Amino acid sequence: MASKNSSFSPYAIAAGKLPPNISHHDRYSSYNGVPMTAVLAVIAAFAIIFYGIRLHVRFNIMKKLGWDDLVCTFALIGVLMNLSCFGIASVSGPLGKHMWNITLADFLGNNFVVTSYIMQVTMTPTMGLIKLAIFLCYYEFFWALDWCRIAIYTFASLSSAFYLSLTVVQFYFMTARKGETLAKHFAGDMAARVTHIAIPTTAAGLAIDIILLLIPLVAIFQVQMPKKQKIRSASVFLVGIVAIIGSILSLVFKLKTYGNLDLTYHLILVNFFICSEMSLGICIASMPFFFRALKHHKARLSSMAISFPSVRPQFMTRHPSQSDPASSGRSSESEEKKEIVKTSEV
């Protein structure tokens, strides 16, 4: 009787069925969550640095704060929260492993269920806040152009309404009901409905990313300024291409994951690219302030670069007494010639 009960223990049952005719390499392959989390931590560190520069410009140079700063602050909190959940799920949890290589207890444990729920209900509003912060940043720099102001109003409203409605839908379908555990709710049909809208919503987010890239580029080339300055200003916003690439990769892996029963193995790449896209979004929202800080401190930075001593190895620094024999011979010959010329003149 004890052996029969142990066979139905969630610690002894695999979470997924092993597919037939699978190679040995594919059967035991997995993603290492430690380096992936480290990469996301580095990108998030850049986001924190750019956010700090943004606050420096606001407090010390511009002497005023805007609504985009508050929005960007909440967005950064969401980025750090999703990064923490990704690290827990991929390092301590089953994220990145095949379903047939983990137990049912691992799949329904807090390291996967709770972190997946937090990421599911916070990832969408975080992405919406990031894009709203970018729109508000554009408004501050390009408000003088009528078409740009109208475009920012329109697309910022549509983007905010889209992400707000999507957040409500995901929170409704992913939250467990009264008397129901979160693990049981995840295994039900209600939570599975969220996966049906994952691909179209990601495609809509990609379209918003493209709009966020095009608005400043078109605005810059309509402003009267030298061509070199236009190219230099446009390069500030070309960082958005990296975010678009991350959004495309997220869409590709969502297409690959859709309908795939090996959820934990493929979901790690989707979450990885979404987290990287969010951190890059913080950098994009703060990029104009970064160049504003460089321009403000240009004189100080250049003086520091000039006064900074050049460090050379000792074998490269030549002492005056350690001149090479050839040069000393040439110098002595030139001195003798000068003396001969002087005596001849006398």
Give the residue extent of every domain in the chain.
33-176+194-295
User: 345 vs 192, 340, 341, CA distance in Å?
Assistant: 105, 9, 6
Place of tokens 């379209």: 207
- The residues pairing with 14 across neighbouring beta strands, listed in sequence order, are 103
- Distance, CA of 226 to CA of 224 (rounded, Å): 7
Indicate the SS3 state at residue 18: coil
Enter the pTM of the model: 0.78
Q: How far is CA 315 from the centre of its chain?
A: 44
For the cut 90, the answer to whether the pLDDT of residue 64 exceeds it is: no
Share of the chain above pLDDT 90, in %: 29
Residue 83 has pLDDT above 80, yes or no: yes
> Residue 6 class from Cβ within 10 Å (0-12 exposed, 13-18 middle, 19+ buried)?
exposed
33-176+194-295: CATH class: mainly alpha
Give residues with Cβ within 8 angstroms of 19, minimum separation 6.
Answer: 100
Can you give the pLDDT at residue 227? 75
Of the ranges 36-40, 143-147, 330-334, which is most confident? 36-40
Question: How confident is the model at residue 159, as a pLDDT?
Answer: 94
Cβ-contact 202, 254 below 8 angstroms? yes
Query: For a pLDDT cut of 70, what percent of the chain falls above it?
Result: 84
Examine the pLDDT at 345 and tell me if it is beyond 50.
no
Predicted pLDDT at 175: 87
